[in-house]
Structure 1
């Protein structure tokens, strides 16, 4: 994207507010005390999303944009939307006011914005991928797909409103982290904490059960009707320095109402492009904002569907013809077993008794199997000898030599000279 096409910060915030916050704002308010708590919570969730979109995702696409300070962001949204003043407290105070007690001085919306700022600071839009190693899991997310793995099931207007969402469930991180005081930089110089991993950590089985429980609770699908297709760990958009455990599951049972079936290919296309685009004389939010809640999983979903298509097209996991095993199937299948000297004994006896090739066209495959098995067995026999001179020699009972330079001509048997140890003699 050219510099001239980069949406300025204020215009981007205006576009995000128009899409996510405006539908919830009331014009007939006087003070924030007149609004119900549920309304404060809804607006707080929406401005949390606006802060994430501006200071992380929009900057990630446009690295030349600067990180917008917390208090400046709050003042901009009040200037752009005066109705937001009913949801703000600390922002309305004079510039010289200091934040001493965040719990008392900040409104729900201001707390949500500060949380989003902390998340953006740790994710760091200047990096390609955030370093989430050691972060505790705060959320489990599930992408539920149909039997054909062509469509997924999403729900709309959950949290935040106006965007598509996966099946998600919060995980109690209190059992996974402990808090210690520390002095680190913060937008408002408030006292911060660094979270450390404690000894009590949810293991993979427990997290997977949370995922199954979420699908049952939200979509009405039982765990016995689901199949796990993939599991991943990505950064969380809910809490700072925490991660989300992401699962892709296939469901064979009907989904409850409230979910929309979306083609996965269309979903991947919806992840691409800018968040805002110029429309006439103003900037408007694009369709990507509809799916911004799923952006942490976008790359994983794209790679997963690509691998699945390659596999289904036959480029990978091609079935092996039964003819490829003809004449040496028992020996190839037994290579992974520990009793390899026994395999060699059976193989040598059979070839001494029957040197006739029943199917000359399969001689090439037989030669390949012969060289593979002889190499494996010779290596195992040599591994029991403490006086090895080379990979194919043993001094105790005389040398064992294997000629692997056999011809692949169909009517010519491979040349090999095997002098068996005395313990193999019958």
Structure 2
């Protein structure tokens, strides 16, 4: 006799006066599992199923929370039953205001989730409702202490970098940005919201093919470099393209190339001593030439297999893509083919000695091993907030059993140099 099992997916809507509406699909009982770290970013049109499977698998069968400021439960059935990945529940919160974002109930569900997804919409709603409050802290703890997987599409991708376009005064066009980098719509936030590994000093952008947003994104980076006197980085996706960043920093690109022109773009100011724009000032067109090499860009086609990638741990290594130069000539955006940046001439002492020490494993659990060609080493270890932590060392072994899960920075010091490694404890 054939045994037939009937599975019923129960979707429940809860309406509250606290500033959000909740939609639940699946179990209402939290499942406690350990997630895998990762980041998934999508360009803003329909989702890449392959990338979403990658994202859901990181939850290890646990609970998914979707945060959005408009719409309803569009992700619930898609995540729960249409992709073939077994998860315990999908819980969508449509948040109306900061009161809803900081309710104890919502914060509890964020804390207990294994995966968090930001939907599209208006990113200024997310900045207004989620930033500088308890939800911001909960999201950063989720990523850096719990080690959960996080992602978003369109506006949800736009807020993931440590720097971001807030859209406080509405969107901005290429023409407006390139013609005046300090246009009233060029509203940017710097390092004051989400703290996600591998997205430091990164501004993301979406809908790259419809409309073309390369000019305004270049201006975002020009502003960041000028305002912070620092090199700037960017990640962007065509509308149907996704970037999935694994725990080691490799960013895999998903899409339907070559059937469609679906690409991701990894953008950085060039490795030169004079990298700042020649002119990035109010009411003047942006001029950022630097010998036609102001920005180095790795353009990666997205495959259904996700086999092509770019390595965010060094911003120089990749597979399957091509290098381009982007530059702006008195307000006119321009491109040319090129080779990858050569940062060797600008490396600090830390970077020059990069190959003299190796640290493994990464991620680690209870012990780190350091291999170096130097006989005498000292170590300093800091958490993600910059506070030094105490660890026990014996020879080249570092005991980390006392540390909580999260992001750490280990500095290996020898007689002539210091080398710093970003590490993740699972």
State the TM-score, normalized to the length of structure 2. 0.23
* Larger Rg, first or second structure (1 or 2): 1
From the two aligned structures, give the one with the greater strand fraction.
2
Q: Which has the higher helix share?
A: 1
TM-score by length of 1: 0.23
